[in-house]
Amino acid sequence: MTRRASNAALALILSALGFLAGCGAKTSAQNQNASGVTPITPDSTEDQIRRAVGAARLGRKLTPKVWPNGAQVAVCISFDVDNELLQRANPLPVPLSVGEYGATTAIPRILDLLDRHNIPATFFMPAMSNMLHPEMVPAIVSRHRHEIGIHGWVHEFWPGIAKEDEEQRLLTRDIEYLTKAAGEPPVGVRAPGSGFSPHTFELIRKAGLKYDSSLLAADEPYEIFSNGQPSGVVEIPISEIDNDHVYYGETANGSLPSPDAVFAIYKAEFDMAYEERTLFVLTQHPHVGGRRSRIVVLDRLLSYIQSKPGVWFATMKQVAGYVSNQH
């Protein structure tokens, strides 16, 4: 099971526990589950339901009438540089070495590939990844076209942090650390495990971040509405379908280990984005998709996309800035 899948399962369990508590003990819809979320029960009113789901939802769709230079589609290639972090709870040498591969072998391979295609990418990096491999950020920023984004301190799952002030402290520390490492402040975030606590979105907004890339409510950029109000924060949505982790898994034994089959899925996703004139976002993990047989798929996909006229390859910072200026 992938980390995102396990997080989703946890959320379902917590929701179910909240539901059972509501049924068995006459608990009101105001009671909160272990993640601090008010569960929706059969007794919930319309107002309670709307407030329960209202923290971060799809607002205005922001796909522009035309992309820069008359392009038909925007393409964002993104990497979650998790490396050893997914083994941090049980840091034994062999599983750690699986993640270490991402820094020692896959990142140089990925940067060389992006150089050959002359395209930008966004790298979401937990601070711990750069602590263990301080050569990575300089190698990325030295290309002068890539972007570094926030991805947690140690890939902590934000809904599991009990206190808002602790989550704020970690986010502030993330921003300060990446600003020092990259030489400029990050403007975007991808929540570790795509996990939002009840406080996360407001903390992101207050921190002045321009965009998020954790939610999945559309195939195109949109403004996040929080409790029914426009926030000014752009969502560059992701999709598990365009995520290497769900196919390849942590090592060689994924649910769909055939690189050719994964290429066919990625290609179909891009083709529809191209037809709809919207946005294609690819999410890769260096220690997963950076393996030899798998990076061949990325090379092949980039070549295919570049064969189409009217494609704008951009960082998420560039996309968020452009769509904000068009509305």
Q: What is the pLDDT of residue 250?
A: 64
Rg value, the chain, Cα: 20
CATH of the domain at 227: 3.20.20.370
Q: Are residues 10 and 122 in the same domain?
A: no
Q: What is the pLDDT of residue 314?
A: 98
Q: Are residues 148 and 284 in the same domain?
A: yes
Q: Are residues 308 and 163 in the same domain?
A: yes
At position 59, the amino acid (one-letter code) is G
> Cα separation of 47 and 103, whole Å?
48
User: Which domain covers residue 79, as residue numbers?
Assistant: 59-325
Q: Are residues 42 and 70 in the same domain?
A: no
Whether pLDDT at 186 is above 80: yes
Determine the angle formed by the axes of helices 259-276 and 292-306, rounding to 10 degrees: 30
Q: Are residues 181 and 223 in the same domain?
A: yes
Distance set, CA 295 to CA 178, 195, 271 (Å): 27, 27, 20
Cα–chain-centroid distance for residue 110?
18
Angle at 240 between CA 1 and CA 115, to 5 degrees: 110
Q: Are residues 230 and 117 in the same domain?
A: yes
Whether pLDDT at 135 is above 70: yes
Query: Any idea of the CA torsion for 205, 207, 209, 211, to the nearest 10 degrees?
Result: -30
Q: What is the pLDDT of residue 35?
A: 59
Pairing, β 311-313 against β 73-80: parallel
Helices (H) and strands (E) counted in the chain, each on its own, are 13, 10
Residue pair 285/244 in contact by the 8 Å Cβ criterion: yes
Q: Are residues 85 and 46 in the same domain?
A: no
Q: Are residues 150 and 11 in the same domain?
A: no
Q: 28-32, 33-37, 317-321: which range is least confident on average? A: 28-32
Pairing, β 222-226 against β 57-61: antiparallel
- Number of domains forming the structure of the chain: 2
Residue 257 — very low, low, confident or very high, per pLDDT cuts 50/70/90? confident
Average pLDDT over residues 2-6: 46
Q: Are residues 13 and 66 in the same domain?
A: no
Q: Are residues 240 and 316 in the same domain?
A: yes
Whether pLDDT at 21 is above 50: no
Mean pLDDT score of the chain: 88
Q: What whole-number percentage of the chain has pLDDT above 90?
A: 75
pLDDT digits (tens, 9 = 90+) for 277-310: 999 999 999 999 999 999 999 999 999 999 999 9
Token pair listed for 257: 């280990």
> Cα separation of 231 and 254, whole Å?
38
pTM: 0.88
Q: 17-21, 160-164, 174-178, 186-190: which range is least confident on average? A: 17-21
Q: Are residues 49 and 113 in the same domain?
A: no
Q: Are residues 220 and 96 in the same domain?
A: yes
User: Please, how many CA atoms are within 13 Å of residue 53, restricted to the half-sphere of its CB?
Assistant: 12
At position 305, the amino acid (one-letter code) is I
pLDDT digits (tens, 9 = 90+) for 45-71: 999 899 888 989 999 999 999 999 999
> Cα separation of 106 and 285, whole Å?
9
Residue 9 — very low, low, confident or very high, per pLDDT cuts 50/70/90? very low
Token pair listed for 98: 């699986």
Bridge partners, 281 (sequence order)? 76
Residue 39 — very low, low, confident or very high, per pLDDT cuts 50/70/90? confident
